[in-house]
Amino acid sequence: MKALLNKTLLFVLIALSISVLVIMILRKTCDKEKFFKLPSDVQVLFAGHSHVRLAVNDSLIKGAKNISEEGEAYIYTYQKLKQYLAYNPQVKYVMLECTNNALSEYYDSRSWSEHFIKTKLPDYNLNLESEDFLCLFRKEPTTTLITFTISARTQLEFLTDTAMSYPAYAEWHKHRHYKNSDVDSLLLRPKKDSLDRAAMKYSEHAGTYIRKIANLCKIKEVQLILMRSPIHERWEYRQNENMFREQMQRQFSDLPFLDFGNRAFDNKEFRDLAHLNYLGASHFSGILSGVLQNIELLHSQGYHDMSAPADMIE
């Protein structure tokens, strides 16, 4: 029995050491430029979660790239921007989505729930800072460690497939458009009276990572602009509007904020109460195009204005 235990222990130790070594070698071989290098004319990045992914059709905006993803919490946007800004010194502006839900504690589960760690972290854990790693590790230790094996496996995948055509990556970081609108049927449903407590509360975690993104942009000499895409007036998370406005003013008054949240869009331009469909995205992207043409001028004037948003700068 003792001999077996000793041999098994030795075997497990050697096997684990080899595994760590292999994972490290695979990490070293990762050609990140392949994933993060953008065309030289891209000067504006749109980042954030599903709102911006659906709202901004980057093919209609000159020199822009939509790198947002559904359900993306700021901790992952921060990792993503670190990579994009490292490989794209030509980028001048980062437009970061700030909406009522993403700024609330309700959205924190998007950072450290098992599902989100598994789907978001493997793409970025190659360059995780210890603070970020610990933030996730404390909440989900096993899953956080597992993501290293997922990224190693993905890397193995890319070593054998130079076409980078694996299904999960075919849709990587680009605008997603939806044809239909469910708004009319959604409006027939009874209005939700109150939100969960977490959705009414400001998330320190989200705030920390928006601030980290701001610092990163400052170091890279990139202008960070916070932005709220159009949302329907009946969207349930508008119930935390007071908290949202108060915190935007209190925490981020030093950052420009373009608020399109109250812009009148037709029901048929929304996919649902939170997201635009392709019609809305075309409309909104046209507006953004105009905004970006005047952005240098606006930049010099300063435009953190909560009450009379976006219209004034078109």
User: Residue 250 corresponds to which amino acid?
Assistant: R
Q: Is 166 in the site for other proteins (CB under 8 A)?
A: yes
By CB under 8 A, residue 19 contacts other proteins: yes
Binders of other proteins: how many residues, by CB under 8 A?
Answer: 29
- Among 68-76, 88-96, 156-164, 243-251, which window interacts with other proteins (CB under 8 A)? 156-164
38 binds other proteins (CB under 8 A): no
Site for other proteins in 113-132 (CB under 8 A): 118, 122
27 near other proteins, judged by CB under 8 A = no
Q: What are the two backbone dihedrals, phi and then psi, of residue 195, each rounded to the nearest 5 degrees? A: -90, 165
Residues in 257-296 at the binding interface with other proteins, rule: CB under 8 A: none
- Ordered DSSP codes for the chain: -HHHHHHHHHHHHHHHHHHHHHHHHHHHH--HHHHH---TT--EEEESSHHHHHH--GGGSTTEEE---TT--HHHHHHHHHHHHHH-TT--EEEEE--TTTTBGGGGHHHHSHHHHHHHGGGTGGG--HHHHHHHHHH-HHHHHHHHHHHHHHHHHHHH-TT---HHHHTTT---------HHHHHHSPPP----HHHHSB-HHHHHHHHHHHHHHHHTT-EEEEEE----TT-GGGGGHHHHHHHHHHHHTTS-EEE-TT----GGGBSSSS-B-HHHHHHHHHHHHHHHHTHHHHHHH--B-SSS-GGGG-
For other proteins, the closer CB: 31 or 314: 31
* Nearer to other proteins (CB atom), residue 129 or residue 157: 157
- Rounded to the nearest whole angstrom, what is the least distance from the CB of residue 194 to other proteins in the complex? 29
Residue from 39, 130, 131, 167 binding other proteins (CB under 8 A): 167
Considering only 6, 9, 13, 14, the residue that binds other proteins (CB under 8 A) is 14
Which of 290, 239, 228, 287 has its CA nearest to residue 262?
A: 228
- State the minimum distance, in angstroms, from the CB of residue 144 to other proteins: 11
Closer residue to other proteins (CB): 38 or 150: 150
Q: Judged by CB under 8 A, does residue 152 bind other proteins?
A: yes
Binding of other proteins by 149 (CB under 8 A): yes
Task: Indicate whether 146 belongs to the interface with other proteins (CB under 8 A).
Answer: yes
Spatial contact of 114 and 250, defined as CB atoms under 8 Å apart: no
Closest approach of other proteins to the CB of residue 245, in Å? 41
Nearer to other proteins, 99 or 147 (CB): 147
Taking CB under 8 A as the binding criterion, the range among 6-14, 54-62, 76-84, 205-213 that sits at the site for other proteins is 6-14
Shortest distance (Å) from residue 128 CB to other proteins: 16
Distance CA 94, CA 76 (A): 15
Nearer to other proteins, 153 or 218 (CB): 153
Whether 312 contacts 85, CB under 8 Å: no
Stretch that binds other proteins, among 44-52, 69-77, 160-168, 224-232 (CB under 8 A): 160-168
Chain residues binding other proteins by CB under 8 A are 1, 3-4, 8, 11, 14-16, 18-19, 22-23, 118, 122, 146-147, 149-150, 152-153, 156-157, 160-161, 163, 165-167, 170
